[in-house]
Each structure stands twice: as structure tokens, then as C-alpha cells.
Amino acid sequence: MSAIELSPAWLLLFGAGVAPFLRGRARSAWVVAVPLGGMIQLALLPAGEFGQVEFLGEQLLLLRVDRWSILFAFVFLIAALVSAIYSLHVRDRLEPAAGLAYAGAAIGAVLAGDLMTLFAFWELTAVTSVFLIWARRTDRAYRAGMRYIVIQLASGMLLLFGALQQLAATGSLRFDHLGLDAPGGLAIFVAFGIKCAFPLLHNWLQDAYPEATESGTVFLSAFTTKLAVYALARGYAGTDSLVWIGAVMTAFPIFYAVIENDLRRVLAYSLNNQLGFMVVGIGIGTELALNGTAAHAFSHILYKALLFMSMGAVLYRVGTVDGTELGGLYKSMPWTTGFCIVGAASISAFPLFSGFVSKSMILAAAGAEGLAITWLVLMFASAGVFHHSGIKIPYFAFFAHDSGKRCAEAPANMLVAMAVTAGLCIGIGVYPAPLYALLPFPVDYVPYTGGHVLAQLQLLAFSALAFSVLMRTGIYPPELRAVNLDSDWLYRGPAVAVTAAFASALGVVLAAGSRLTGRTIAALVAVCYRLAGEDGLMARTRPTGAIALWMAVLLGAYLVVYYL
Amino acid sequence: MKPRDERRFWLDRKENVDKVYWGVWLLCGLLLLVEPLVHKHADFAFAEWFGFDGWYGFVACVALVLAAKVLRLIVKRPENYYERD
């Protein structure tokens, strides 16, 4: 393996190691240069398999470069770059390093050719990313981070368990198509499903992401879940159950998004909904569907990062992203407002924005396979995502009633990062050919037909009409300061109560036990003390003469016994 | 000159908000008017009904909001629910 055939992951991990030791402009230049260097490295990588090494007697494949892994590694590097620019104002030494290491781990994982290397990087994404949550330095963030890391590591353990079953059954750790029936297939499926935020396994995402720092959430939104999408596409393409799992994912979170007050949590729900589209594409498994999933992951990473950046800028300047507290910020933050609207138009799949050219491939694939119910659910979710991400986010933050809050525009580095990302969102939407050229399979799909554009515009315009009418009539639920119970309630509510009850029961048992054993031990000690304690039978001191006399008696007795 | 965010904006006037509101109605109407000129090539027969995407989007959003209001009745808890002890 020559130096050129090295995963860009190592450059990012090395960059992360160096970053905390640099200061000021040197560190700023460094954290921007490292992802750029990674892009050059990726561009120079020839397709193929490199880094076959033996580890504990098993063959590993450290680096697999093909169309799937290049696409994901490339978009991860773009995300790392814009996130790094976005976080340049951060003075904390650890946070930018954690971001780079996290990006490096995710890139290492998509370029891994075997399950053990995948596992190692899989766990590294968890361990590095949690620091982006803890960097908020609040008690709330600390506890959310603890819940997050436990769930992420559990996913890794399941992956390891499945990988070892795979190894035992087939003698190989190679990561190719698995399917549910493969040895360890179900365990690995659930491991991927946790990171991909499957229904009921999802709530770590909405719990933890909104608690991270303003730039931490931008990093977080890009990597973990899309790594899971990549892994599912590689291992479980064409698995039928993914179609309905994905369909539930597109629809279920948007109800929560409508009533959620924390606007970054609204975005986390819509992130979950967008993952659903990708999962449906993987489940359908045709070339068009998988191309759609890959394309949608690419454009999604960018517009989702852009939306989180705009809300991060609001959080940074105003100190809150609660819908109840905001409104009218377009007066203070016109540029941020504009970039947010670009992100909102992209996620809503407006023609000429990135979501339009990628999401429609998945819908077209569902249509081509005659999956009418799935298609209707995806259309419902498309209308819904426009409703809560496309309209609600910009409306409540920047328009609505004027909250009277006045602040400065976002810092220059944030504006640059948002401008670059917004440019990419529009660029992909206007001219999708370069993205299509990167997709895993040859593309025979034309997004811009008169019928498709009209259908999409009708869907969006009438959704906007519904929002306007509901707002004007006062039917639309107002933003409220409240917590909405989700599946995390199971482990934050009853599980805590059950654990507490168990702990107190255990305490009672242990106390009773210790009283019992305490008494036994006390009795035992008393016996020992009687025997060996002060003046005890075994510890009495006797005069030497007496001992000598007793020895003489013993020896005499011995002699007598001998001669008998 | 006043700072930018102290100025009075176009959207601060109620009649302009009304213009936006009726503009959305107008846009929806126009999008239905042009439908006979464009063939939709839908994958399903029902998707070629007149204005299907429009009314489906409208109904979907109204249903979403009404269902979310019901959901709120079930899942809403005080803001400090998880930190109440």
C-alpha cells in the first residue's frame, strides 16, 4: 500500500490530533485545510481495494474505493469543510478537533471494506461526536450526551455481535450484501437501524442533536445517520421490510415537528423524515431507487446542514431557538433569513433546488414499481415536510409576529459557510448533471419535465395555502413552551422509575442481608476473639518453663507409645 | 438614517400581509389553470385526476395539523417534565 492509497480518514484524524495545539489564525487555516486536503486525497485515490491486512488471523480490507464509497466520502468531506468554516468563531480547543475526528471516523467507515474495520470506525463516530454535545457545557447537554453515547455504543455492540456471527458462519468479515437471512444479518440490521433512527429506535436523534452547540449540531446532522444509510444500502438493498419502515419514518416524525417548539428539534424531526425517503429507496432496491437514495443523501446533507446553520446562527445571536421566543428576525439577520429560505426550499423540493432533483427519483422508483400506498405516504410526507421545515422554520424564526428581539447579523464565518452551502443547494438543483454522474448506477432520469414541475408546484402551493388558511383562521396550533413525550419517554420515564424501584428494592434486600450477615460475622468474630483474642485460649502466654515441662511430657509419652 | 432593524418594513403593514395571503390563493388558481396545457405523465391513474397534487397537498396539510393537535393533547407535558425532581 503506497502513501497515496491511504484513506482520507487518517488525514482528518491526524488533523484533529494537531488542531488543539494550534491557536488563532493557524488553527483556523488548519481546520479548513484538512478537509480540503482530504478532498485532494480522495480525488487521487484510484478505484479498487487496498489495505488487505491480517489482524488476529482474519483478513481485513481497510480501504474499498467504489462508486458508493466515493460518493459518501466526498459529501462527508464537503460537510466537514462547511462545518469547519461555520465553527471558526469557536474558541474552545476541543470542539473543532472533535468535529474533524468525527468526520474522519465517518469517512473511514464508508471506505471500510470489512465489518471489523466498519465496527471500529462506527464506534469512533460515537465516541468523537458526543464531545460536540458535551461542548455545550450544560447539565442538560451532559445528560443528553450520556443517553446518546449509550445508545450509539449499543448499536456498535450489535454490529460486532453480528460481524462475529458472520465470521463464524462464513469465515469472512467482508462487508457486502448481507440481507436479513445472513448469519448475524438481523443483529447488524438493528445496529444500522439504531443509527438510521428507525421508528421507535429514533429518539436519540431528537433528544441529543438539539442539545449540542450551534456548530456541533451542524456536524452531527451530516454524518451518523447518513453513514447508516450508506451501510443499509450496501448491506440490505432490496429488503422489502425497509419500504414500510421507511414510509413510517417519513410520516411519523412530522406530526411531532408541527407541535415542537425548539426549532432545532423540529429540524431533527424533519431529518428523521428525510431519512425515511432514503430508507424507502433502499427497500425498493432498483437502480433508480438506489440512485435516488444516494442522490438524496448527498443533497440532504447539504440542505440539512444549511438549515441547522441558520438556526445555529439564531441560537448564537439570540440565545434561544424556541419558536415562542422568536419572530421578526429578518429585520436583524437578513442574510441568515435568505440562506434559511434556500435550505427550506431545498428540503421542500422546490424546482431549481437540490431536493427536487433527488427526492423525485425515489418517488419515481416507487411509482415505477406500482407501490401506490407507499407513493401516497411519500407524497403526504413531502407536503408535510414543506409545511413544517419549509414554512414553519423560517416563518416562526424570522417572520410571524415581531418578537422585538434585535441582534447582530451572524458572524462572517457563519455567513460564508451558509453561502457556500446555499450555493451548492441551488447549483445541484439547477444543474444536477455532476451529481448524477457521481451516482452508483448510470442515470436515465430527467427531473425537469413540464408535468413533474407542475405537479410539484401544485403540491407545494396548496400546502402553503393550507398553512396560510390555518394560520389566518387560528386553527394552527400555537407554539407552546412544553415537552412532547416521544419514545425516549420509555427510558427517561418508566425505565427510570423501574430502575429506581429496583434499586430501592435491591437496597432493602441488601440491607436485610447485611444485617443478617452482619450478625453472623459478629458471632464469628466473637468466637475468634474468645479463642485468639486477649486472654483467649490460643493467645495466652505461658511461662517458658511450663512449655518445656509440657514438651518433656509429650516426648515421654511418645517414647512410651514407641516401645509398646 | 435609522439602523436597518429599526426601520418600518413592507411586511409590517397589515395590508401587505393580506396581499401575500391572497397572492397564495392566486398562485394556486394559476397552477390549476395551466394544468390543461401540461400533461402530467403520472405513474398512477388517480394521480392524473384534475388538480390531484394540489388538493392532495391541501388535504394532507390540514389533516397533518389537525392530527398533530390531537397528538399534542396526548403527549404534551410541562417544560420541566424530565427535570422536575
Q: Which residue has the cell 425497509?
A: A242
In this structure, the dihedral spanned by the alpha carbons of residues A484, A206, A193 and A137, taken in order and rounded to 10 degrees, is: -130
Q: Which residues pair with A65 in a beta bridge?
A: A48
Of all residues in chain B, the one with the smallest CA distance to A472 is B21
Q: Specify the pLDDT at position A361.
A: 95
From residue A289, give the alpha-carbon distance in Å to each of A169, A294, A368, A437: 31, 9, 10, 15
Q: Specify the pLDDT at position A316.
A: 95
Locate the DSSP E strands across A393-497. Answer: 483-484
Q: Do A459 and B54 touch (CB under 8 A)?
A: yes
Of all residues in chain B, the one with the smallest CA distance to A407 is B5
For an interface test with B, the pick among A147, A320, A465 (most B C-beta atoms closer than 10 Å) comes out as A465
B17 contacts in chain A (CB < 8 Å) = none
Q: Specify the pLDDT at position A89.
A: 92
The Cα B13–Cα B16 span in angstroms is 6
A470 contacts in chain B (CB < 8 Å) = 61-62, 65
Of all residues in chain A, the one with the smallest CA distance to B79 is A482
Query: Residue A331 is nearest to which of B4, B74, B81, comparing CB atoms?
Result: B4
Q: Do A450 and B38 touch (CB under 8 A)?
A: yes
Question: From the CA of A408, how many Å to the nearest CA of chain B?
Answer: 10
Query: Residue A466 is nearest to which of B7, B34, B62, comparing CB atoms?
Result: B62
Q: Specify the pLDDT at position A538.
A: 65
What is the phi-psi region of residue A137: left when phi exceeds 0, alpha when psi lies from -120 to 50, beta otherwise? left
B8 contacts in chain A (CB < 8 Å) = none
Q: Specify the pLDDT at position A540.
A: 66
B58 contacts in chain A (CB < 8 Å) = 462-463, 465-466
Tens of pLDDT, residues B5-55: 677 788 877 888 889 999 999 999 999 999 888 887 788 888 888 889 999
Q: Do A481 and B79 touch (CB under 8 A)?
A: yes
Q: Specify the pLDDT at position A498.
A: 83
Q: Which residue has the cell 487555516?
A: A29
B81 contacts in chain A (CB < 8 Å) = 483, 485
B71 contacts in chain A (CB < 8 Å) = 255-256, 259, 484
Please count the residues of chain B.
Answer: 85
Question: From the CA of B83, how many Å to the nearest CA of chain A?
Answer: 9
Q: Do B38 and A259 touch (CB under 8 A)?
A: no
Q: What is the DSSP letter of B44?
A: S
For an interface test with A, the pick among B33, B64, B66 (most A C-beta atoms closer than 10 Å) comes out as B64
Q: Which residues pair with A389 in a beta bridge?
A: none
For an interface test with B, the pick among A463, A472, A489, A499 (most B C-beta atoms closer than 10 Å) comes out as A463
The rounded radius of gyration (Å) of the Cα atoms in chain A is 31
Query: Residue A331 is nearest to which of B9, B32, B42, comparing CB atoms?
Result: B9
Query: Residue A477 is nearest to which of B24, B68, B83, comparing CB atoms?
Result: B68
Q: Digits of tens for pLDDT over chain A (564 positions)?
A: 455 678 999 999 999 999 999 988 999 999 999 999 999 999 999 888 888 888 888 888 889 999 999 999 999 999 999 999 999 999 888 899 999 999 999 999 999 999 999 999 999 999 999 999 999 999 999 999 999 999 999 999 999 999 999 999 998 999 999 999 999 999 999 999 999 999 999 999 999 999 999 999 999 999 999 999 999 999 999 999 999 999 999 999 999 999 999 999 999 999 999 999 999 999 999 999 999 999 999 999 999 999 999 999 999 999 999 988 898 899 899 999 999 999 999 999 999 999 999 999 999 999 999 999 999 999 999 999 998 888 989 999 998 888 888 888 999 999 999 999 999 999 999 999 999 999 999 999 999 998 899 999 999 999 999 999 998 898 888 888 888 888 888 878 777 788 888 888 888 888 888 888 888 888 888 888 777 776 676 666 666 667 777 777 888 888 777 766
A258 contacts in chain B (CB < 8 Å) = 64-65, 68
Give per-residue burial for A276-300: e unless 16+ CB within 10 Å, then b. bbbbbbbbbbbebbbbbbbbbbbbb
